[in-house]
């Protein structure tokens, strides 16, 4: 029943001048389901779902009965005169108190919340969460019959009174997958251009991570360069965005170079990005283990600002605001996570028998980052800070080869999987399909006048105050 969304074209005008269109596509077939990167939590609701409490837009006593609708329109909904009191969770408030305030008898409030616990953890309730408290108005006195709320765009939790007490259910709405295409010209930064083109932040961050093996976004991107991106978006049937999905295709135009990448899922379910020729763009280490930072000091000899003589800098410094997440540059095991002299808060990962990476001056560590823990490339291992001997918030990053610091830009790392034979044939077919999809998704935008982006800074002039290691050994 979810596949009924035949190929319908929907324009996404709201995405801005440079953007494009969204095309309704059928949900992915199970064998093409999204991999771990973007969990395919598209709910199936083919089974008879538990009774949804009636949601009345507004109870109108004059009219008596109003027709209830839950925006899905395809279910027969019983018509009942139910009053709905909408309340929202305040700071420090509890759900029980909220129900009491809505005039729910104490015992029933406790029973209803106890029932809810079976499907939803009350600790996960957000501040400001709205609840509809439902009362049957057929009798003389309003009778509490349950409550419901939407913890996420695609989820409804409902608690209803029955003959045997309260019952709770969590209903997941089916999601539609849209394919969204966008392109833009970079005048100041990719972030700026992406935002102007309506590309949401999670997709921009993923785009930067996807290219972080090969592109140094501080040095390699210049005014007049451009990008293209095609990504999935999951929406509920009423058009609300539930979440952004994976990037299926992207291209960066840097000077005369164009770097297209395609997302490909192997038959065994692993996913990677490949050039048009079928070469993996993955390297064993990320080139930049942090988003949106700029290099404030490179590996090599440098003149010390205070002492005035040249000294070896055995890592790379990335200036970024305190709290900016730092990613594990590659898969590996945490060898050290703690305070380490002038390095301040320090994490070191062993990637294989030869290569380690180290991260210094962190303000704090990522969740579960401790000695012996296993990490995957891209996991957050900590956050930028200025602990230890440091002149300002920055990440000091080292790549160690056989225990010695080496230039991260020159470290020779093996690349990822390659495509051959049957996989290559599948990939070629996918490339053709995706190219066509991108053309379709952006055709509508091309018909609209292209927006001009404001030039904010001619050459990405640096406004962040430089953070750098001071004269500590090994830094
Ligand atoms: Zn440094």
Please write the tens of the pLDDT for every residue from 382-406.
999 999 988 899 999 999 988 899 8
CA–centroid distance, residue 468 to ligand 1 (Å):
6
**Rounded percentage of the chain residues whose pLDDT exceeds 70:** 72
Neighbouring-strand partners of residue 457: none
Q: What residues pack around ion ligand 1 (CB closer than 5 A)?
A: 315, 317, 396, 469, 475
Report the alpha-carbon distance of residue 339 to residue 360 in Å, rounded.
9
CA–centroid distance, residue 398 to ligand 1 (Å):
8
Res 238: pLDDT: 83
Q: 202-206, 247-251, 283-287: which has the minimum mean pLDDT?
A: 283-287
Please write the tens of the pLDDT for every residue from 38-91.
333 333 333 333 333 333 333 333 333 333 333 333 334 444 588 999 999 988
Q: How confident is the model at residue 372 (pLDDT cuts 50, 70, 90)?
A: very high
CA–centroid distance, residue 54 to ligand 1 (Å):
61
CA–centroid distance, residue 361 to ligand 1 (Å):
9
CA–centroid distance, residue 66 to ligand 1 (Å):
68
Report the alpha-carbon distance of residue 428 to residue 421 in Å, rounded.
11
Mean pLDDT of 111-139: 92
CATH code for 43-173?
A: 3.10.450.350
CA–centroid distance, residue 314 to ligand 1 (Å):
7
Q: Which CATH architecture has domain 294-406?
A: Distorted Sandwich (2.70)
Q: Where are the domains of the chain?
A: 9-39+177-282+418-447, 43-173, 294-406
Q: Please say if the pLDDT value at position 251 is more than 60.
A: yes
Q: 113-127, 210-224, 240-254, 372-386: which has the minimum mean pLDDT?
A: 210-224
Q: How confident is the model at residue 188 (pLDDT cuts 50, 70, 90)?
A: confident
Beta-carbon contacts of 160 under 8 Å, excluding residues fewer than 6 positions away, are: 50, 51, 53, 145, 146, 166, 167, 168, 169
CATH number among 3.40.50.800, 3.30.460.10, 3.40.50.1370, 3.10.450.350, domain 9-39+177-282+418-447: 3.10.450.350
CA–centroid distance, residue 358 to ligand 1 (Å):
11
CA–centroid distance, residue 186 to ligand 1 (Å):
30
Mean pLDDT of 373-386: 93
Res 351: pLDDT: 85
Res 147: pLDDT: 96
Report the alpha-carbon distance of residue 20 to residue 446 in Å, rounded.
8
CA–centroid distance, residue 471 to ligand 1 (Å):
9
pTM of the model: 0.51
Res 203: pLDDT: 93
Task: Confirm whether 9-39+177-282+418-447 and 43-173 share one CATH topology.
Answer: yes
Q: Please say if the pLDDT value at position 343 is more than 70.
A: yes
CA–centroid distance, residue 174 to ligand 1 (Å):
49
């Amino acid at each position: 029943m979810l596949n009924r969304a035949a190929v319908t074209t929907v324009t996404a005008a709201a995405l801005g001048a440079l953007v494009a269109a969204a095309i309704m596509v059928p949900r992915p077939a199970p064998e093409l389901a999204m991999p771990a990167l973007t969990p395919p939590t598209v709910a199936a609701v083919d089974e008879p779902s538990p009774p949804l409490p009636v949601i009345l837009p507004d109870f109108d006593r004059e009219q008596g009965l109003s027709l209830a609708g839950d925006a899905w329109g395809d279910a027969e909904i019983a018509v009942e005169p139910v009053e709905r009191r909408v309340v929202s969770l305040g700071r420090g408030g509890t759900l029980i108190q909220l129900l009491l305030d809505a005039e729910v008898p104490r015992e029933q409030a406790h029973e209803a919340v106890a029932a809810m616990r079976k499907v939803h953890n009350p600790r996960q309730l957000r501040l400001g969460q709205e609840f509809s408290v439902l009362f049957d108005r057929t009798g003389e006195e309003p009778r509490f019959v349950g409550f419901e709320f939407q913890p996420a765009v695609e989820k409804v939790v409902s608690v209803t009174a029955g003959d045997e007490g309260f019952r709770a259910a969590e209903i997941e709405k089916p999601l539609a997958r849209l394919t969204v295409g966008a392109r833009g010209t970079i005048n100041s930064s990719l972030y700026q251009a992406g935002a102007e083109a309506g590309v949401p932040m999670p997709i921009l961050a993923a785009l930067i991570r996807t290219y972080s093996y090969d592109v140094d976004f501080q040095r390699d991107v210049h005014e007049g360069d451009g990008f293209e991106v095609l990504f999935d978006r999951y929406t509920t049937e009423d058009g609300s965005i539930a979440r952004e999905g994976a990037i299926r295709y992207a291209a960066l135009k840097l000077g005369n170079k164009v770097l297209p990448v395609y997302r490909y899922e192997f038959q065994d379910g692993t996913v990677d990005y490949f050039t048009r020729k079928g070469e993996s763009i993955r390297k064993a280490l990320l080139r930049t283990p942090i988003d949106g930072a700029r290099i404030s000091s490179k590996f090599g000899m440098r003149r010390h600002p205070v002492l005035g003589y040249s000294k070896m800098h055995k890592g790379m410094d990335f200036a970024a605001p305190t709290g900016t997440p730092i990613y594990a540059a590659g898969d590996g095991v945490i060898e050290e996570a703690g305070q380490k002299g002038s390095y301040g808060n320090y994490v070191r990962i062993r990637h294989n028998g030869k290569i380690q990476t180290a991260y210094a001056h962190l303000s704090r560590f990522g969740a579960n980052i401790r000695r012996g823990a296993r990490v995957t490339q891209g996991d957050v291992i900590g956050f930028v800070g200025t602990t230890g001997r440091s002149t300002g918030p920055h990440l000091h990053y080292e790549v160690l080869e056989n225990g010695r610091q080496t230039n991260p830009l020159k470290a020779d790392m093996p690349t990822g999987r390659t495509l051959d034979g049957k996989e290559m044939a599948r990939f070629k077919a996918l490339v053709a399909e995706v190219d066509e999809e991108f053309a379709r998704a952006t055709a509508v935008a091309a018909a609209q006048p292209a927006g001009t982006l404001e030039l904010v800074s001619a050459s990405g002039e640096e406004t962040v105050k430089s953070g750098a290691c001071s004269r500590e050994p090994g830094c």
